[in-house]
Chains A and B, each alone.
Chain A
Amino acid sequence: METEEELQDELKDSPFGFSVKRSTIVPEGYFDTFPDRIMNRWLLEKENVNPFSRPMMVRRMMSAAAIVSGVCLGIALWTNQTSTSSQTDNISAGDAYQYILENIDDFAPLILQSEQWSEVNETIVPDPSSIEQYLMEELDGEELESIF
């Protein structure tokens, strides 16, 4: 660094002719507390970076896991649907009817046991009063014994 004399010589021709340099009076105790303040700020900045990055990483991992799970589920459903439909698609309605007729003995017990069949049975078996009513109408006033 140059001496003050040299510097003044250098600045002799400067336009100012007066000093406009700022005084650098430092508030009392500033340099005693500054290291602590700057270290606290540094540690805070580091802490703010770390907790921020951790949830971000967890969030990203969870997103990735959700996407993978979704894709796997989709593939599984699609595969299952395809295999089911391919089994039924290969048999036409005519073939199925033909098959049932040829193997009616196998299907009969199943049909008789089914709830639908029992319902049908119940509806076609009339009660005795209905039979009597029906016969009276058919005989048109004739005696019942005359038929037999």
Chain B
Amino acid sequence: MTDEAILALATQPDTRNEGFRQLVITYQQRLYHVIRRQVPSHEDADDILQNTFIKVFRHLSGFENRSELYTWLYRIATNEVINHLNRSKRHRVEELKVNNSRQADAYINTDELTETLETIICTLPERQQMVFRMRYYDELSYKEMAALLSLTEGALKASFHHAVKKIEEELKAKQIV
């Protein structure tokens, strides 16, 4: 179903619920993968995906067609991810402090590495976090990111490289790289 058809259904009181359902069916998989790449568990991704769609339902009447529907959905999903991660940020920072005092193991498995990376990402400034996630996990081009975040490609490249540098320093400090 096209975006126009979905919006036509979702904006009419009689067909609103059917429009919402079609919206979910159309975009659930794409949004799920965007979210899932950034959170540690399926349960977290499920919660965030539900919250994203509920927020979309509440505010769909305010969608002004200035951007593509997916761009708008992506932005809401990303904000939900950031909110979720910020809520657990304190916990992760505490983890990082504990891990800093520990010698790196001779062998570190992927799950631990992923967790460590996530902990480091959470210490970055918000914009660097977002840019790094969009670039590294979602594999978006700078052009797509610029359209989503209303920033220049140059600013995005700078943010990404700053983020990478800081992550590298942290990984070296942990003797992982």
Contact = CB atoms under 8 A, between A and B. Distances in A.
A54 interface: no
Contact of B114 (A22, A27, A31, A45): A22
Given A20-B114, A31-B29, A38 B50 contact: yes
Contacts of A17: 177
Given A2-B141, A7-B139, A39-B17, A20 B42 contact: no
B76 interface: no
A38 B17 CA distance: 11
Contact of B24 (A21, A27, A39, A45): A39
Interface residues of A, number: 28
B32 interface: yes
Contacts of A14: 164, 168
Interface string B135-177: 1110111001000000000000000000011011001100001
Interface stretch (B33-41, B65-73, B79-87, B99-107): B33-41
B28 interface: yes
Interface in A1-51: 1-2, 7, 10-11, 13-18, 20-22, 24, 26-27, 30-31, 34-35, 37-39, 41-43, 45
Contact of B32 (A10, A11, A26, A37): A26
Interface of B: 17, 20-21, 24-25, 28-29, 32-33, 36-37, 40, 42, 46, 49-50, 53-54, 57, 110, 113-114, 117, 135-137, 139-141, 144, 164-165, 167-168, 171-172, 177
28 contacts: A2-B141, A14-B168, A15-B165, A15-B177, A16-B117, A16-B167, A16-B171, A16-B177, A17-B177, A18-B113, A21-B37, A21-B136, A22-B36, A22-B37, A22-B114, A22-B137, A24-B32, A24-B33, A26-B32, A30-B32, A30-B42, A31-B28, A39-B17, A39-B20, A39-B24, A41-B54, A42-B20, A42-B53
Interface of A: 1-2, 7, 10-11, 13-18, 20-22, 24, 26-27, 30-31, 34-35, 37-39, 41-43, 45
